[in-house]
Every structure is written in C-alpha cells, then in structure tokens.
Amino acid sequence: MASFSLDQAEIRAFYQAFSKQLEIELKELEPTLVDIRRTLHKYPEVSGEEKRTSQLISEKLNAIGLQPQIMRKDVGVTADLTLGTIAPNAPLIAIRADIDALRITDQKEVDYCSHNPGIGHLCGHDAHTAITLGVALGVNRLAEYFKNQWKGFGLRLRFIFQPAEEICLGARWLVKQGVMEDVDAIIGLHMDPEIEAGAANIRYGVMTAFCDEVQFKIHGTGGHAARPHHVDDPITTAAQLISSLYQNLPRSIDSRTPAVFTIGQIAAGQAPNVVPETAELRGSLRSTNEHARSVLHKTIEDIAQGIALSTGTRIDVLFKSPLPAVVNDSIITAAFEQSAKDVLGHQQVGQIDMPSMGGEDFSIYLNSAPGSMLRLGCARPDQEVVFLHSPYFDIDERVLAIGSRIMLQTALLLSLNPQILQKGS
C-alpha cells in the first residue's frame, strides 16, 4: 500500500483551503447536479447511441468556457481544463465517466423515470456523468481563487465522457481517438448500492475480473427424434459439455483463486421432433489473474475436444471480446483513500477485501496510464438495497456533490505531488 502525504506546510494549507471552498461551491451546485442527473435519467440512451447525452454534456461544458470535442459518430465527449500556475512537470489527470444506459425497463414510480421505453439508467452511469460534470462546474467556480488567493498553484484536467461501457467497446473507441495522449493518471468511480450514501470503499490492486465471452458451436448430424441412433445429437452433446464445464473448471485452478464460468445462451433446433444439425452456446468466463485465465482457456478447449470425441461431434471454441482486469495503481488509490477520508471521515471509508467478478472497460485506459476506481456508496436509507441492473435501481442524490468533491480533491492531491506519479511510472 502506498502512502500519500503533503509534506510542505504551504501545500497542506492550500489543499485544506481548496477543500473547504470546494465544499461550499458544490453545496450551492447540488440542485444543478440533481437536475442534470434526472434529465439524463429521463432520456437514457444505449451503448453507441448516446448522441443526445453527448450533446447535453457538450452544452454544459461550453457554458463554462471549455471547448469540448464530441467524438466520432457523435457519441462521447472530451474536454481539457487548465487552472492557475502550471509547473513544467504538472501532471495531466483524466477523469472518466461512462454515459450509456441499459436495455432494461425502468419501473420506478418517480417523475424522472425513463421516458424511453425499454431503456434505463439502471447502473448509475447518469450519476457518474453528473458527478464528472460537477467536477468541471465546481473547479470553474474556483478559478478566481487560483488567480487571486492561490497564486503559484495549478491544475490540469481532462474530462472523458465515454459511450458504450456496457458493451465494453467505448474505452477502446476513445483511446483510438487519442483521449489518453499525454495523460499521466486517470481516475473514475462507480455507484455501489450495497453501501449507504456518505460512505465509500477503495481497493488496492485487482478490482475487477478479466472477462472473456466464450462461444461453442457443436456440429452433429441431424435426423428424426424417434431414431436417435441414426444421429450424432448436438443437443445431447451440449448438455454433456455444460455439465462437464461446470464440474471440472473450478477444479482446474487453485480453489483460492476467484473465477466463475456461466453459460447464458443456448440455441438449437426448430421443431420438437427433429434432431438439429448444430447447437450453439455462449457463456462468460471471469478470472482474476493471467495464469488462471490461461489455465481455464486450455481446460475449456480440452473439455470440448474430449466431449466431441466421445459423442462423434465437432465442437468449435471461440474466445471473444477479451477485457483485462482493472488493476488499481497503489499511488493513485492512496490519493483516492486520502481524499475520500477528507470528505467523508475516516470511519466512512473502507477497503474491499476481494475483487469483483464484474467487468469494467476502464481497464483499457490503464494500458496507457496508471489509474484507479472508487466504489461510492449510493444506497438510500429509506429503502431496502436495490442492486445494479434492477428495474428499480435508484440512488441517494446526495452522492452527486460528494462524488464531485472526492474526484476533484483526488486529482488535486496527485497534481500537488507530481514527483510521486513520476516515481510510480
């Protein structure tokens, strides 16, 4: 675990003054952030179609004098902001928000419920977007302090509003368009409905899983359902394959290593009295280190080959859409921990014991620069826990200003200690 400290009294005094003034400014901005979040919640857009969302973000950034760039195909936005006196070694800190929604019907009985049938912001991306806009709006209101009271201090930020996180493509799109050029560190956060608003969790090291989509195509010989001895039944093979994978994959790696494999789709046949020629399976493999992932890949292929041999079929295995794990940088995570404690209090910031088996394409940015993600509590005290991707998911909107404060103060901590980032590179 890295330590994070401000050694110079002048820097510490500036940071404390900044933090206090930021709290005041974001308290005043809170109704604006709530309005932004509710507007986004009313008009959600799925991955790759976030044109209205991107336009709204661009308008908000334009209004404070930034020069946002709407990305290719009119989805996604990026903008840079520089304040104060910038030292030659001042790092460029990127702040990322994902902006897409899910194909799930929003069933909440609230006036900001989704107006787009079958689509809902049920993973908190509307909140992520509002929080990152809150960073931009908040720091813009501090510009005069940098000119007058805080001379000698500066801050370089890049805002990345990313489309298509839910299909794990948006980060790749934006990296190809250059959003990580010159970036020294990147930070992000995610809503966590298992933690009450006013608390946060951090994790050092691996935070999310390596993710692979696994496809199987089973080639058999079809025929009459009454004469199975005439066929090589791909459906029977599929049943054996699923059973064998579920039984043997967990035993192929160290039992102390988190990993999970699930079949989510099965497609075969068009009539109940016909054995089809083919069957197709699609599943998801999640693992938490490269060695385990490699072993699991080989075991899947070996099991498929063995089942094919014993059933007289052919099984093609394809691993698609590989997504690396999010591995939080220790230095940036230490800054996150410090800023979260400064905003929420020491007792309100915990550490995550085990990585999540979920995927997150924030990991793609980490190929270009070190980074870290925070889990921000958003549970409302007046209702039972409603999990992510539920049609009833909602947040305690007090987290919007809280999230903006933590993100901006984390960026400031990293900016005040550029030599720490350089040591970690």
Q: Which positions make up the binding site for Mn(2+)? A: 123, 125, 166, 190, 389
HSE-CB at 206 with a 13 A cutoff on CA atoms is: 18
Q: Which residue ranges are tagged as binding site?
A: 123, 125, 166, 190, 389
Closest by CA to 414, choosing from 6, 10, 18, is 6
d(Cα 283, Cα 126) in Å, to the nearest integer? Answer: 28
Contact (CB, 8 A) for 192 and 168: no
Q: Cα separations (Å) of 209 from 63, 174, 400? A: 39, 22, 27
Question: Which residue reads 């052919």 in tokens?
Answer: 314
How far is CA 151 from its chain centroid?
A: 36
d(Cα 423, Cα 425) in Å, to the nearest integer? Answer: 6
**DSSP-H helix ranges across 202-233:** none
Contact (CB, 8 A) for 320 and 215: yes
**Could you give the angle at which helices 330-344 and 9-42 cross, rounded to 10 degrees?**
80
Backbone Cα Rg of the chain: 24
Contact (CB, 8 A) for 264 and 281: no
Main-chain phi, psi angles of 43, to 5 degrees = -125, 65
**DSSP-H helix ranges across 216-371:** 234-248, 290-311, 330-344
